[in-house]
Structure 1
């Protein structure tokens, strides 16, 4: 795989995951609920009884959150490169909906296997998570489009 493409996908995933996370933190603060994915991930590591300090669990929660964002962006890239969907607003919405459903199913599974006990408004969390993934997909699509334009323009003027 082209190292420039890997860097491009990493940057896109950082931007999209950050936008999603900011949205989750905003909704969490607005409704005074725990909807923060990295915090929930660090709590999950506690439930799995890993012998990690609080700081290590927090860092791991953030790293896993961003890594999953990277995997989603790689999936989007494959969908776009294989011409399954075009890079468009419609495909961003569709990918966001699909990602939201995958995210909700994943969290249901995570909460079940860890027997998560911390009080959380699951319905509210899943609704927020669904919209957070739509924001993720919209930002990822926009950044992908912008970076592809930059690559095209750069190649046209440099080569």
Structure 2
């Protein structure tokens, strides 16, 4: 994996995870629920009795959230680079649906393993999470496509002749 690809995956995952997170925060505010994944992750860490300060658990919640975003983008890259899926809206939607299902199952497991049952509307949380993953995949696809276009333009106009 070359340095450019690592940089590309990090940029794509930051953009996609940030867009998804903004959506989750907006839905949380609209419905007056705690659907904020990084915050829920920090609560999970608290419930697991991990010996860290609350500030460290909050930071770790954010790092875990963005780290999972990187993992999703690495998987997406694999599908795109091997031409298993095309870089288009329909396949982005399919990636989002699959990611949403994985996300929901993962959160169910997280809640079960940590014995943490937040006082939230779980149906609403899972619906929001599903839509958030579709937004993640659409953003990741768009930013990835833009990064490929920029790379081609730079190579065309600035490559040594």
Instruction: Name 1:63's counterpart in structure 2.
Output: 63
Kindly tell me the number of residue pairs found equivalent between the two proteins.
159
Instruction: Name 2:75's counterpart in structure 1.
Output: 75
Give the secondary structure class of the aligned counterpart of 2:87: coil
Alpha-carbon distance between aligned partners in 2 of 1:33 and 1:105, rounded to the nearest angstrom:
20
1:131 pairs with 2:145: no
Deviations 1:119-154 (A, max 9, x none): 121111000000000000000000000000000111
Alpha-carbon distance between aligned partners in 1 of 2:23 and 2:133, rounded to the nearest angstrom:
10
Counting only pairs closer than 5 Å after superposition, residues 9-158 of structure 1 correspond to structure 2 as: 9-158=9-158
What is the CA distance between 1:11 and its match in structure 2? Answer: 0.5
Give the secondary structure class of the aligned counterpart of 1:97: helix
Deviations 1:53-101 (A, max 9, x none): 1100000000000000011001000000011000000011000000000
Alpha-carbon distance between aligned partners in 1 of 2:137 and 2:18, rounded to the nearest angstrom:
12
Alpha-carbon distance between aligned partners in 2 of 1:42 and 1:59, rounded to the nearest angstrom:
8
What is the CA distance between 1:118 and its match in structure 2? Answer: 2.5
Give the secondary structure class of the aligned counterpart of 2:157: helix
Instruction: Please say which of residues 141-150 and 109-118 is displaced more in the overlay.
Output: 109-118
TM-score normalised according to structure 2 size? 0.97
TM-score normalised according to structure 1 size? 0.99
Provide structure 2 residue ranges, at least 5 long, that are not aligned to the other structure.
none
* Runs of 4+ residues deviating >6 angstroms: none
What is the CA distance between 1:157 and its match in structure 2? Answer: 1.2
Give the secondary structure class of the aligned counterpart of 1:30: helix
What is the CA distance between 1:117 and its match in structure 2? Answer: 3.0
Provide structure 1 residue ranges, at least 5 long, that are not aligned to the other structure.
none
What is the CA distance between 1:34 and its match in structure 2? Answer: 0.6
